[in-house]
Amino acid sequence: MIIQTEGLTKYYGKARGIIDVNLAVEAGEVFGFLGPNGAGKTTTIRLLMDLIRPTKGRATIFGLDSHRDALAIHHRVGILPGELALYPKLTGEQMLRHLAHLRGGVDWATVRELAERLDADLSRQIKSYSSGNKQKIGLIQAFMHKPELLILDEPTSGLDPLIQQEFYALVKEARTAGQTIFLSSHILPEVERVCDRVGIIREGRLVTVETVASMKSKALRHLEIVFENDAPLDEFVNLPGVRDVTAVNGHLRCTVVGTLDAVVKQAAQHKVINLISEEPNLEDVFLAFYAKEGERHAS
């Protein structure tokens, strides 16, 4: 295992950080760490990197103790922290050269390639950067030395959609090269897109670890179909995976779990004016599938 935690727990005084988190991340996989803001994702990453100390439990990376062997671990890891601190008076290039020097040097051609792909202007002072441009510098410094393990906390925060696509390409290339990626996010479609497995954390507890294929089989969508004539409600109420069906005039609304195949085929029997699919927010998914599991852990 590249990352392993055993009963990892952190309290901030009486406030909950994380509780009894047991994780195992395998070599060469993209592991998504999914949860709403405040669930404990950043706390877990800080514990892994020995930026804070656990209340109890332990973590290992590359089989090394995350506290005792922190220096050796950091040499082999690229990290994008959730709160990125950069020197405001340096240019992007000066900042990256400083970080490269601390790492013992990197191939500057790699830095330039990453900057070009992420459309990062390295000539300007960091104090003039937007949050998205600062995030680009954070991504470049995480990837530039081609580490064995990438730990990325909310990596697409502040990035425009085109740069997000380039980031997803970088993740896939890193995985192909044999690197391991631990990616923290609160965006469900993001982890579904790039990850092999996903761990879901809620209120400090690890609720489940599943393959992305398993998660997609539970995909939850709010669907609205607009028919030319009255919506044929009776034809949809008993379809597999369809729930909460309502119809007003030509508008049929429902929630669909899993594939849309049956719904689309049934709708195709009529003239459809429009079809709107709304991805649920993360809390909807928790309530639909993981609430009982989380309650069992809490009891």
Rounded average pLDDT over 282-293: 62
Task: Report helix, strand or coil for 254.
Answer: strand
- 222, with CB counted inside 10 A (0-12, 13-18, 19+), is middle
**What are the pLDDT digits (tens) for 225-264?**
999 999 899 999 999 989 999 999 899 999 998 788 999 9
* DSSP symbols for 168-208: HHHHHHHHHTT-EEEEEES-HHHHHHH-SEEEEEETTEEEE
Distance between the two ends of the chain, CA-based, in angstroms? 30
Q: Round to whole Å and give the CA distance between 98 and 249.
A: 64
The confidence score (pLDDT) of residue 215 equals 77
Beta-carbon contacts of 242 under 8 Å, excluding residues fewer than 6 positions away, are 236, 254, 255, 256, 257, 262, 263
Q: Domain residues of the chain, as ranges? A: 3-216, 219-281
Q: Which amino acid is at 173?
A: E
Beta-carbon contacts of 169 under 8 Å, excluding residues fewer than 6 positions away, are 117
**What are the pLDDT digits (tens) for 101-117?**
999 999 999 999 999 99
> In the CATH hierarchy, which top-level class contains the domain 219-281?
alpha beta
The confidence score (pLDDT) of residue 286 equals 67
**What are the pLDDT digits (tens) for 190-210?**
888 899 999 999 899 999 898
pTM: 0.82
Confidence class for position 214, pLDDT limits 50, 70, 90:
confident
| Helices H / strands E in the chain, number of each | 11, 15
- Residue 24's nearest CA partner among 79, 77, 63, 76 is 63
Beta-carbon contacts of 19 under 8 Å, excluding residues fewer than 6 positions away, are 9, 204, 205
Q: Round to whole Å and give the CA distance between 191 and 278.
A: 17
CATH number belonging to domain 3-216: 3.40.50.300
Residue percentage of the chain with pLDDT more than 70: 93
